[in-house]
Amino acid sequence: MTYARRKERDSRASGLVLFLAALGAFFLGLGRLPDSSVAPPVTPPAAALESASEAGPDGSPAPAAETSPSTSTRETVAIEATEPGPVATPESVPTATTDTAANAAPEPASPRFRDIGGLRQPRIRAAAAMLYNPRTDEVIWERRGLDQRPIASITKVMTALVLLDQDPALTRDVVVSRRDVRRASTTYLARGERVTLDALLHLALIASDNVAARILARASGLGTRRFVERMNLKAASLGLEGTRFVEPSGLDERNVSTPYDVVRLIAAASEVPALSQIMRKWTHGLRIDRRRVNIRNTNRLLRSPHVIQGGKTGYINEAGFCLTALVELPDADPIALVVLGAGSNARRFSEARRLIDWVTTTGRSLLEPAEHAN
């Protein structure tokens, strides 16, 4: 009987010890609970870190000088005639912070419009047009100067600028692929032919050859997709806020810009000697594979009395007939002009000449810098 009572007492003592141990563990856990009044640390979004890490000055190489093709000194590179990468879509168009090789985007451009007062307006029927002084950064006259429109083959000016930014060997041979010539509309090239980058630049800027523009993008060392991204980055670095590209030839109506952007683009391209020399040629002879080809410039302004430092035409149905040029004027600054959406091939040139005549006569006073431009 004594043994049974002792066992019951020991069992009660063990239970009490277990209860006290559990109670202590409970209060110890309460002491370690986190303070709900203290906010957890905030992690910056990945996009913000990426933008911060990629901002910086331009690291692009200087443009290369123009090189004439020479069969004795050509460097033949075996570039596969494969289909180029898919074209960038508007959703994938990058901004100037997505590539370390691009310039940091400048401050948003604010056009400085001259007040023509009571001066007679030039008679222009095109959907949009502009006269611009690159030296003073003043808009002398405009019609819908900030409206965004398709620019067709004026796109090729940016294609040429971006290519030269890569500092390519212009004597390098490239093979024309099946994809290059598909639905190209205008071209001197055929599948399987070999052609130098220098010849392609001439074909794109003088003859407005669409296949040449496609090959320049594909053979740039970037591939078509990255090349189009660089075109948009280049536009951002030049402050062309209304300009977007989805492919390098201008056949796609989603390649858009504004008159204000286009005049600044042609002014920038005309400052590159390799491009200005090409754009000023009325005719040019070149070799494509084993045949000799003579091409003629689509820019008829070159046959006018005016000295053209650079220029480019463009046409697709959605854009109408387009033209931009940098024109030397006697005893005045060069003037950049653009005509977008003219009703015919002849009219884009007649309206461009009309703008030149107007600014050198009626609007002559506007060529002097304004003390207070609007």
Active-site positions? Answer: 153, 156, 208
Helices (H), 32-145: 46-54
Query: What's at 74, amino acid-wise?
Result: R
- Calpha distance 221→158 (Å, rounded): 17
**C-beta atoms surrounding 258 within 10 Å:** 25
Rounded distance between C-alpha atoms, residue 232 and residue 128, angstroms: 22
Query: Which pair of structure tokens corresponds to residue 264?
Result: 């600044």
- Return the ∠ at Cα 134 (arms to 112 and 128), rounded to 5°: 65
Distance separating alpha carbons of residues 63 and 79, to the nearest angstrom: 22
CB 340 within 8 A of CB 262: yes
Which residue type does 115 have? D
What CA–CA distance (Å, rounded) separates 340 from 127?
Answer: 6
